[in-house]
Amino acid sequence: MSGAPSSLSDITVTLNVSGGYNGDLYAYLGYNGVLVPLLNRIGVSASNPSGASGAGLNVTLADWGTVANGYNGNIHAAGNGVLSGTWQADGQNLSPLSAPASFNPIGGSIALDGTFQHVNPNGTWALFFSDVSAGGGMSTVNGWSLNISSVPEPVTVALAAFGAVAAVIRLFSWVRSRC
């Protein structure tokens, strides 16, 4: 990304994956050494050691994700089948190879906006994606996107406003001198 330094106001990640087994998927978004787990073995828990069945997903991950299954809209609790819609990122910061009982069945609390809110968005963002378990077929990432809304730094906004006021004053002075 390039442009003026700014603070993030909203960040979303869209993932389009086909095939495989959703309970085997692990993905995170990384920027400047900071990682946010987007998927961490969807549905895996002590009561469901295999995780969510389903062969693919076409989802948007955002902090304002939908409420599902009576929970907070976290994709970890999304359920079975091919997933779609807008969800909150999984946010569980533990190894995808951890014992099923280590996973919170309603997901974690690491958020995209909360993690990246005060960083300069200019730089290299990376998506890591893995199918961490043999069996269940092969998953294919058909596409992904990162959408960042940013707010210019207050100094930039103030300078732009000051420049606009100065231009109006100069224009007014020029018009006055012609009359």
Domain membership flag for residue 28: yes
Domain membership flag for residue 48: yes
Q: What backbone torsions phi and psi does residue 101 show, to the nearest 5 degrees? A: -65, -15
pLDDT (0 to 100) of residue 28: 96
Q: What is the rounded CA–CA span in Å between residue 95 and residue 102?
A: 9
Domain membership flag for residue 70: yes
| Contact call for residues 140 and 17 (beta carbons, < 8 A) | yes
- How does pLDDT run across 1-20, given as a tens digit for each residue? 455 555 677 899 999 999 99
pLDDT (0 to 100) of residue 177: 56
| Contact call for residues 107 and 91 (beta carbons, < 8 A) | yes
pLDDT (0 to 100) of residue 150: 74
Q: Domain of 126? A: 6-151
Domain membership flag for residue 128: yes
pTM of the model: 0.79
pLDDT (0 to 100) of residue 62: 92
Structure tokens of 77?
């609790």
| Contact call for residues 25 and 42 (beta carbons, < 8 A) | yes
Domain membership flag for residue 133: yes
Domain membership flag for residue 158: no
In three state form, how does the secondary structure of 28-60 look?
EEEECCEEEEEEECCCCECCECCCCCCCEEEEE
pLDDT (0 to 100) of residue 175: 46
Q: What is the rounded CA–CA span in Å between residue 122 and residue 109?
A: 25
158: enclosing H helix or E strand: helix 154-178
pLDDT (0 to 100) of residue 70: 54
Domain membership flag for residue 36: yes
Mean pLDDT by 10 residues, the chain (179 residues): 62 95 96 94 96 94 75 85 93 96 94 85 91 87 91 58 56 52
Structure tokens of 44?
């895996």
pLDDT (0 to 100) of residue 137: 84
Report CA-CA distances (Å) from 122 to 30, 33, 65, 119. Answer: 13, 14, 25, 9
Domain count, the chain: 1
